[in-house]
């Protein structure tokens, strides 16, 4: 069977993914930036930012000069590689052999697969359509070699190029030398000699090309046309963390359900313990005799393979598990599994066992409902609403320490506008109106000036005041802007206990 390869190129990999996760960014010009040699540089730009002339490598200060309201987000190192690996795992539904192709591509060995979709054209269109429906701008190409597929996906005339069997050489002739994945010095040498397309040098004698450009050009040419072998290491499909228990007779009693759950938890937790991993999310389901599936799920703040703790979390939800005429097969599946952090030995005893705290919070959340318990970590930003971020788990730590400055315990997600009465500029309000209610100010402290980070966003500074009404309730207010430079606006941002 002849080998066939599909190359996928994500034109805006990280920015598309961010727009998928944060729908409010769709249609907006934004960039991902990171410090580089003493300045902040754009690492990735959204489609709208690219249309404005803002490209990777541009300094953020220059980008703001082009588009002052540009939104700048912090780029996370290694995030793109992790995303590619996840996409390679996702693509295993189309082929058993897929691998990341950094910095923004995937390579699939599709030999023997397209006929299941009715041919290569429907196969390619199905892949591109599904990725496009998710929100990615992606190009793809199919050819006999990895090099030809890579070149056509990035430099082909259309999004879905397909080079016929043995036709990779002809498909490459009109492409630029950069389509051969050459090193920068080699590309510069080709450009100086006036080689703008591959057909201008592909038939030159090998000794001449080797002497002038080195072995790398011949190797890439051979890989592209099929004269040299090239391979990749595919990702391995994950082994699902799942246990099943078929029943000889349908089970409809609570005691029977608990016995089945305990049995499945013991088996799954034994495997997790051997691998040093634990559950963060799990679902317990049952296939009823009427063909319907019922299920209950739990989540933990910290990875756990303690069957007793996990059983207590499930037990709180068993009353909602409806067996009807009976369940004939039970399934326990770990939806999210993470590495378990081993407890550190201590020289002396300290109260507050992290595992016990995590299990307590899990039980509380199971009773009050998911999404009611949150943990936050500090991050390096001046504005209060940007200075914290939600933690993924109880074990996650931050490199940034909590600031020593006092902040209210209750900070609003978005500052709410208020109307104020101020006797003099830079004085705190005498009273303010919030949601139709006038609140008198008996005491006040401030101002504390907080400015934006110039490399993220420019704008007026904030002057914060802590004010107290006659009843003793305290509020956190700020003035946006300065008197004498337009009319400042006032906002309520939080409440002190």
CA distance 33 to 25: 16
Q: Is the pLDDT of residue 147 over 90?
A: yes
pLDDT digits (tens, 9 = 90+) for 98-114: 999 999 999 999 999 99
pLDDT value, residue 353: 61
Over range 44-61, report the average pLDDT: 92
Residue 448: which pLDDT band, with cuts at 50, 70 and 90? confident
Assess contact for 5 and 140: CB atoms under 8 A.
no
Sign of the torsion angle spanned by Cα atoms 117, 120, 125, 126: positive
> Tell me, what's the pLDDT at 346?
43
Instruction: Please write the tens of the pLDDT for every residue from 175-195.
Output: 999 999 999 999 999 999 999
Radius of gyration of the chain (CA): 30
Taking residues 343-365, report their average pLDDT.
60
Tell me which of 72-76, 271-275, 424-428 is least confident.
Answer: 424-428
- Please report, for the chain, how many H helices and E strands are present, in that order: 13, 21
pLDDT value at position 38?
A: 82
Query: Average pLDDT of 32-44?
Result: 89
48-71: average pLDDT:
91
The model's confidence at residue 300, banded by pLDDT at 50, 70 and 90, is confident
Mean pLDDT of 236-249: 88
The model's confidence at residue 50, banded by pLDDT at 50, 70 and 90, is: very high
Average pLDDT, the chain: 87
Task: Select the more confidently predicted residue: 76 or 484.
Answer: 76
Q: Are 14 and 31 in contact (CB under 8 A)?
A: no
Residues 187/198, Cβ–Cβ less than 8 Å: no
- CA torsion sign for 371, 375, 377, 383 is positive
Torsion of Cα atoms, 14 then 18 then 24 then 26, to 10° = 30
Percent of the chain whose predicted confidence (pLDDT) is above 90: 59
In this prediction, residue 455 carries a pLDDT of 64
Question: pTM higher than 0.85 for the full model?
Answer: no
**Structure token pair of residue 139:** 């190009």
Q: 322 is written with which tokens?
A: 């409806």
- pLDDT of 352 above 70: no
Least confident of 92-96, 172-176, 376-380: 376-380
Find the mean pLDDT for residues 352-381.
72
pLDDT-derived band at 286, boundaries 50, 70, 90: very high
What is the spatial distance between Cα 34 and Cα 50, in angstroms, rounded to a whole number?
17
The rounded distance, in Å, linking the Cα atoms of 303 and 280 is 5
pLDDT tens per residue, range 416-445: 999 998 888 778 899 999 888 999 999 888
Mind listing the pLDDT tens digit for each residue in 206-231? 999 999 999 999 999 999 999 999 99
Residue 407: what pLDDT?
75
Please name the residues in contact with 310: beta carbons below 8 A apart, sequence gap of 6 or more: 265, 269, 279, 282, 298, 300, 304
């Amino acid at each position: 069977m002849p080998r066939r390869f599909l190359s996928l190129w994500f034109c805006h990999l990280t920015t598309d993914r961010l727009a998928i996760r944060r729908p409010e960014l769709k249609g907006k010009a934004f960039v991902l930036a990171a410090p580089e040699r003493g300045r902040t540089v754009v690492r990735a730009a959204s489609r709208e930012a690219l249309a404005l002339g803002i490209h990777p490598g541009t300094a953020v200060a220059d980008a703001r000069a082009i588009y002052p309201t540009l939104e700048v987000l912090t780029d996370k190192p290694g995030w793109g590689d992790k995303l590619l690996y996840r996409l390679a795992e996702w693509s295993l539904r189309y082929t058993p052999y897929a691998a990341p192709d950094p910095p923004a591509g995937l390579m699939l060995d599709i030999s023997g697969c397209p006929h299941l979709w009715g041919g290569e054209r429907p196969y390619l269109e199905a892949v591109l359509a599904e990725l496009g429906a998710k929100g990615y701008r992606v190009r793809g190409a199919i050819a006999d070699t990895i090099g030809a597929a890579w070149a056509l996906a990035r430099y082909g005339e259309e999004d879905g190029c397909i080079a016929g069997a043995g036709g990779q050489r002809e498909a490459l002739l009109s492409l630029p030398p950069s389509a051969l994945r050459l090193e920068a010095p080699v590309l510069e040498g080709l450009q100086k000699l006036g080689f703008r397309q591959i057909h201008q040098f592909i038939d030159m004698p090998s000794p001449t090309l080797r002497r002038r450009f080195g072995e790398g050009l011949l190797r890439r040419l051979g890989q592209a046309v099929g004269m040299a072998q090239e391979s990749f290491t595919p990702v391995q499909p994950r082994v699902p963390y799942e246990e099943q228990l078929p029943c000889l007779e349908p089970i409809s009693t609570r005691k029977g359900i608990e016995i089945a759950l305990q049995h499945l938890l013991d088996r799954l937790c034994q495997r997790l313990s051997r691998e040093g991993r634990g559950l963060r999310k799990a679902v317990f389901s049952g296939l009823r005799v009427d063909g319907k599936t019922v299920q209950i799920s739990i989540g933990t703040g910290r990875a756990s393979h303690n069957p007793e703790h996990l059983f207590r979390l499930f037990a709180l939800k068993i009353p909602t598990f409806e067996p009807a005429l009976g369940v004939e097969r039970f399934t326990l599946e770990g939806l999210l599994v993470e590495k378990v952090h081993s407890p550190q030995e201590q020289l002396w005893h300290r109260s507050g066992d992290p595992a016990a705290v995590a299990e307590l919070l899990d039980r509380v959340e199971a009773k009050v409902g998911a999404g009611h318990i949150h943990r936050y970590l500090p991050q390096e930003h001046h504005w209060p609403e940007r200075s914290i971020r939600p933690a993924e788990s109880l074990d996650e730590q931050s490199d940034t320490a909590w600031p020593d400055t006092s902040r209210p315990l209750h900070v609003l997600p978005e500052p709410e506008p208020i109307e104020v009465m101020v006797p003099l500029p830079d004085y705190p309000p005498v009273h303010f109106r919030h949601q139709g209610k006038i609140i008198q100010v008996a005491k006040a402290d401030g101002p504390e000036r907080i400015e934006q980070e110039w490399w993220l966003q420019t704008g007026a500074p904030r002057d914060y005041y802590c004010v107290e009404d006659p009843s003793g309730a305290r509020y956190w207010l700020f003035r946006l802007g300065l008197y004498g430079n337009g009319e400042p606006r006032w906002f309520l941002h939080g409440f002190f206990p």
